[in-house]
Amino acid sequence: MREFFKYVFATVVGVVISLALFLVFFIVLIVGIVKSSLKENKVNVSSNSVLFLNLDQTITERTTEDPFSKLPVVGSEGNKSIGFNDIIRSLREAKTDDNIKCIYLSVSSPQAGFATMREIRDALLDFKTSKKKIIAYSEVYTQGAYYLASVADKVYLNPEGALEFKGLKSQTMFFKGALDKLGIEAQIIRVGNYKSVVEPFFTDKMSDKNREQVTAYLNGLYETYLDGISKSRNISAPILHQIADDYKIQQPQDALAYKMVDGLKYKDEIIDELKSLSGKDKKRNISAVTINEYARNFSDDQDNSAKNKVAVIYANGDIIGGEGSDQQIGSERISRAVRKARLDSSVKAIVLRVNSPGGSALASDVIWREIVLTKKVKPVIASFGDVAASGGYYIACAADSIFVQPNTITGSIGVFGVIPNLQKLYNEKLGITFDGVKTGKYADIMSTDRPMTAGERLIIQNDVNRVYDSFITRVADGRKKTKAYVDSVGGGRVWVGTDAVKIGLADRTGNFNQAIVAAAKKAKIKDYSVVEYPEMLDPFKSLMESTTDKIKMYYAKQELGANYTIYQQIKSAISRSGIQTRMPFEIKIQ
């Protein structure tokens, strides 16, 4: 028996040691992959090269180095990502690069918002002033893909492919029926009839106010969409509208007949045309460089020794307290970046680049304060991306000037709070009851195991009203408007960029580069370097801290498929705490 236990013990120890060694080997392997990827040399661009612009990858505000994406278990070509800032910088460089002869634009289903796509589209239009050609080709064009592809000199579609052109739609998912079945009551405290973020929790359809604002901004987005295509394809906007309304593009031949594309071709024919454009003999291979590779040649172009700098501070994602991440606006991290730029005497102006649906009211105010202090000593220009709403607008409203894209979604000046009442779920569904003692009447305020009392609702409503009053006061001061006026265009209403300019919530439509130029002009500097804040998070630290989360995310995506976004929405709603300044629940344009 003693020998038996000795062998069992030895086996267990061996298994544990083997697992430990495997874990060490796995970590070393990951670190090796990461180091290799981070030390990739700059790409040597040969003469007569084609720039391969793949826009089906995830397009973020800034290019992040994600070590996990390098792993074959999870990573794939589809998981690649690039920052729109690197795309724009690369296109600007390619315009004057004698080695780049043309662009091959490949896009089927871009993972970016409409304002980001317009930024890239503007950069492509600027590239075309060099007289270099852009060839677009795809087997399938979604509507967003076609918006980008339409800027090309030649747009080609696979003879058996498809071009989607049917108009835009916005759809919201409502949870009231499910909450009723579960015995959950969403107790809503809000300011603003248009603050539709909470509607999915207490109704089963859009309110009249919400339908009004969604109709307004969706039509604004559509107008911008059709206008861009109209100018590039030389087809009038009314005709495009009619083509979409009547669903006239059903077959590839329809796209050709209505001049939406220039030809129906296979990939080999596209390759031959690219060879001709780049000056290559048809018998030789194309010299090509991907946009990701090409961007690496300019990723370290920041001149930190320059006497004059324009600092770009990226505020991207949900607004939360604390440090946040590269995909979140942490009040500590972003306010520290603003402060650092303010105290740097070589930084003459700041561009606050915002792409955020909002979040914590308190965290928004912390960042707003740093912008106010900075504005007193140097110019601050705000540049809005796809979304700068609610808290996203809050943090920027004190800027000297606000730039929006025509299809930016902004505004949503409103405040809300949601306190779930889970009493029926606990008592009737799960058979759980609660009992206890307290030393104060409101010691258990915001408890989720019972409905709110009238006194508790009044307290919370007063707090929400106070935050809303602070919000509209900040906006009124920053925009030089009366509080009454801000309240009249606020109330939680969402506006498209062009309308935001008309009502005074923004100053002008313009892209990211125009905002930088305006900041330099206001600072009265001509020769300057652009530097970016905050510093990107250490990919090694990110890897070690988030590997488990990324594995879970990967498998959740595999299991849930298209329903993964629903899971994200529910998870996000559950995780929020404190009074929120957020835009409507989830704007998804298709």
Give me the active site residues, please. 195, 390
**48: which residues sit within 8 A by CB, 6+ positions away?**
99, 101, 278, 279, 280, 287
Beta bridge partners of 508: 403
Identity of the residue numbered 305: S
Backbone torsions φ then ψ of 494, nearest 5 degrees:
-95, 140
**86: which residues sit within 8 A by CB, 6+ positions away?**
62, 63, 291, 295, 298, 299
Q: Cis ω on the peptide bond leading into residue 238 (within 30° of 0)?
A: no
What is the CB neighbour count within 10 angstroms for residue 42?
A: 12
Q: What's the rounded Cα separation, in Å, for the pair 497 and 310?
A: 24
Q: What's the rounded Cα separation, in Å, for the pair 138 and 265?
A: 9
Are the CB atoms for 469 and 455 separated by under 8 Å? no
Q: Mapped to the 3 state alphabet, what secondary structure does 152-206 carry?
A: CCEEEEEEEEEECCCCCCECCCCCHHHHHHHCCEEEEEEECCCCHHHHHHHCCCC
**DSSP β-ladder status, 415-421 and 185-191:** antiparallel
Q: What's the rounded Cα separation, in Å, for the pair 61 and 516?
A: 15
Given the structure tokens 């992959």, which residue do they identify?
A: 33
Please compute Rg for the chain using Cα positions.
27
Are the CB atoms for 138 and 149 separated by under 8 Å? yes
Inter-residue long-range contacts of 515-521, CB under 8 Å, 24+ positions, other chains counted: 515/351, 515/353, 515/381, 515/382, 515/383, 515/403, 516/310, 516/312, 516/351, 516/381, 516/383, 518/381, 518/401, 518/403, 519/310, 519/349, 519/350, 519/351, 519/379, 519/380, 519/381, 520/310, 520/348, 520/349
Tokens coding 423: 């009493």
**514: which residues sit within 8 A by CB, 6+ positions away?**
403
Tokens coding 36: 């290799």
**358: which residues sit within 8 A by CB, 6+ positions away?**
318, 319, 364, 389, 390, 391, 392, 393, 394, 412, 580, 581, 582, 583
- The residue among 153, 99, 107 whose CA lies nearest residue 128 is 153
Q: What's the rounded Cα separation, in Å, for the pair 406 and 363?
A: 28
Sign (positive or negative) of CA dihedral 588, 550, 363, 538: negative
